[in-house]
Structure 1
Amino acid sequence: MRPGATDAAGRGSGGSAVPTLDVDRSDPAHRAWLNEAVRKVQADANRSADTHLLRFPLPPEWGIDLYLKDESTHPTGSLKHRLARSLFLYGLCNGWIRPEAPVVEASSGSTAVSEAYFASLIGVPFIAVMPRTTSREKCRLIEFHGARCHFVDDPRTMYAEAAALAERTGGHYMDQFTYAERATDWRGNNNIAESIYSQLRLERHPVPAWIVATAGTGGTSATIARYVRYMQHDTHVCVADPENSCFFDGWKEHDPHATSERGSRIEGIGRPRMEPSFVTGAIDRMMKVPDAASVAAVRALDRVIGRKAGGSTGTGLWSALRIVAEMANQGRPGSVVTLVCDPGERYLDKYYSDTWLAEQGLDITPYAQVIDTFLAAGRWEE
C-alpha cells in the first residue's frame, strides 16, 4: 500500500495517521427548543385528570354491567387527544418535528383537532389534509387552534396529498395511520387500557369480559389488546367496523391488501385500506355495523343517559349491546366496556339531523326498535 493508505480493516500502511471522521450536528439552541417542547406536551398530560367511566343502566337481574369510557372530556374533546400527544412526543424525540417547520396530517377530523392543539402548544404550524365532507364544526375547531384545513374530494387520496404537502413545505408528515400503534406505550404509562382497569378495580366485575373499540388508525384497539395480553387479563377485544370500511373484510379473510371503494360516513373510523397500525392478530372478534344502527345507538345513548356523542360511539355501543344480549341469553354475568369517542355537538348537522339521514337514505327505525325491545324485554331481535 502507498504511505497513508488504509487496508480493508482501516489500518494504515505507515506515514500519517488516518483522520477521524466527525460530523457534529448538535445545536444547543435546538436542544433547548426540543426540551421545552417535550416539557409542554408532558405538562398537558400532567394537567389533565383521567376521563370518566360512565355506567349504561341495564336491568339488575341480568348481572351484567355496561360502561362507557368517556374520552370526550379530554381538552380537545376526543379519544384522539391521547393519540396526538403520543404522536407529538414520538415525532419530537425522533427529531422529526422541528421549529417553524409545519406538521402535516391526513385526518377525517378529530385527530387533526387534537394535533392542531399540540402544534399550537409548541409553536409549530399545522396543516390538516381531510375529506371535503368533514363536519363544519371539526373544521372550525382545527382553525380555532391556528391550523389550516386542506381538503381533498376523494378520501383515498389523503395519504399521498399529505405526504406531498409535507415535502413541498419542508414539513413533517405525522402519518397517524402508520405510527399510531407504535407511538403509544401499550404496557402502561397511563394509557387508555390501564386507565379502564384501574377505574373498574372497585366494581363487582373488575375484569371485563369484553372491551369494544372502533378503528380509524387501529391504534386504540392495538393498545388495548396488547395491554390485555401483557397483563394476562381474561378479557376479549372486539372491534366494531362501519359500512364502507375494509377492516372487517381484511381481518376476516386475512387479507392485508383489502380496500373499500367509498369513504366511511361515520367520521373518524373505518378506512378504505388496511392501515399499518391496524394490528389484526391482536383482535379477538369483529362486527360489521350498519351505519343506520350506529346512528340509532348514539341517539339511544342520548335518551338513556342524556349524553350526545359522535357516530363512532354509536358503532361501538351497538356492538357492545349485542354482546351484552349474548351474555344475558347465556346467563353469564360480567362487564363490558366501550368508548365515548367524541361529543355529539360536533355532528348536530349529521347524526342528529333527520334531514341528513334522509339525504343519506338511512332509516334508523328498525335498529332503534331492536335497542328499545332489548332494554325493555331483554330480547335482541335483529
Structure 2
Amino acid sequence: MRSPTPLAASTTTPADLGDSGSGSLVDSRLREAVARRLRDDHEITAGRADRASLRRAVARALAAEGIVAAPDVWARAVRDLVDDLGGLGPVEQLLRDPAVTDVMVNGPDEVHVERDGELRRVDVRFDDDAHLERLLRRVLGPLGVRLDRSHPFADAVLPGGVRIHALLPPLSEQPVVTLRRVPAVIPSWDELVAWGTVTPGMRERLIAAVTDRRNLVVCGRAGVGKTTLLARLLAEVGDDRLVVIEDAPELRRPAAHVVHLRVRPPSADGAGGIDVATLVRNALRMRPDRLVVGEVRGGEVADLLQAMNTGHDGSMTTVHANGAEEAIVRLEGMALLAGIPLAAARAQVGAALDLVVALGRGRDGRRQVTSLVEVGAGRDGAVIREVTA
C-alpha cells in the first residue's frame, strides 16, 4: 500500500497570491498524475465537467495519489489544480480579484495587471512556453477557436465574460496573452459621477441626447471605458428595438428590446466568415429603431452612416481615436476606404453624427469624459462645436 505523501505547507496566504508569487502548491509531476486519473474519473468522463465536478474529481485524484495535507493547504492545492486543468492556470487567481480589469501575459515569466486603474507587474508565472500554450488550447478548443503555429492568433470571449486575445511565435518571441474583463453590471450614472467619469452636467446632456434620438459616437483609446459608457447610454433607450452588432459579446442585454448579431470568423480554410459590414446590411432589414455597432473599424462605416442618414436616429457606435476631431477624421478615412469619394465621405459624416463623446484617462488611472462635441454639416464636411457641462 502506498504511504501518504505530505503536501508541503506554504507561508503564503490566499490574499497574498496576486502580489507575492504564484503560490502554487503543485508541480508538473503532480499535475500530470492528477490529469491521468481524471481521464478515468466517472464524473468527468460522463461529460459533467463543470468547475464543481472538476473540483470533486481533483480531490479524489489527490486522495488516490496518497497526498495528505492540512485542510487549508489541501483546499489551495485543489484550487490550483482546478485552475490549471480547467482554466488558465496561475492567472485565474488574478481574475478572481474584482479590482483587476486587465491581465497581460508577455511570456511565461512576465505577467502584468491593471488593478484600480494602475498598471503593475505581478509575480505570477507559468512553467514555460509549452505550459502556457497548453492552457490556451484547452480554454479555446471548446469555443471552436483554433490556435496553433499555422494559425498563431486567436480572439474569443471565455465563459464568464473575459475577452482573450492570444499570439504565438513566430508573431511574437513567446506566447502573448491579453485578458480583459467585461463588466457584468452596467454602472449607474451616480457611480460614473462618483468615479469622476462624468460631471452631473454631462450626465444630463448625455441622457437628453439619447432621449432626443441623437446619433452618438464614443471615442477614446483602448481601455478608457468606451464600451462601459456606451452600455450606460443604451440603458436609457426605453422600449426602442435595438439591433446590436459586435465581434465579441460585450454589450450584454443593455436594454429591454435587444437583438444581438455576432461576427463569425472564417474557418480554417478561410471560408464562411461573416463581417460587420454584412451584419449591418442584415440589421437594416430587421426593423431596428436604433442600430448599434460595438466598434467601427473599416468599410462597415459606410452602411452605418447611411443608416444614420436615412431614419435610424439614435444610433450609436464607438471608435478608437484620441479625441473628437480625430474620431471624425478616422470615420472619414474609413468611408474613403469603403469607396466613398472624399467630398461625399465628409458630407455623410457631418450629416450623420450629432454628438461625439471623447474619453481619456489621467495619470492617476481615472477614466473620464474629456470633451463633448456637437457635430453639424457644413459646406466642407463636419462642423464641430465643443459643449461645456
Same fold (TM over 0.5): no
What TM-score does the superposition give when structure 1 sets the normalisation length? Answer: 0.31
Structure having the larger proportion of residues in strand: 2
**Bigger fraction of residues in helix:** 1
TM-score of the superposition, structure 2-length normalised? 0.30
